Amino acid sequence: MAHQEVKARIDKKTGKLMIEGCGFNGDECDVIKKVEEAIGTITHTEEKDERYNYVQPDYLPNALQG
């Protein structure tokens, strides 16, 4: 698993909270959505290009060559 980071910024004037996920790929982005829903009402969402990237799992060989 790659290094993942969540950045949160609060606008001092309006009090709005902005959350940005970095390092999340594909369905991993749903974790951020769950965090946002737990905090409060979601007013706006922008999906990054990483949302549509999927990591190919490492497959194990069926037989060892020897």
Tens digit of pLDDT at every position of the chain (66 positions): 568 888 999 999 999 889 888 888 888 888 888 888 888 888 888 888 888 887 777 777 666 665
Owning domain of residue 39 = 5-52
Instruction: Please tell me the distance from the alpha carbon of residue 64 to that of residue 61, in angstroms, as a whole number.
Output: 7
pLDDT value at position 11? Answer: 93
CB 44 within 8 A of CB 18: no
Residue 47 lies in a domain: yes
- Considering its fold, how many domains does the chain have in total? 1
Residue 60 lies in a domain: no
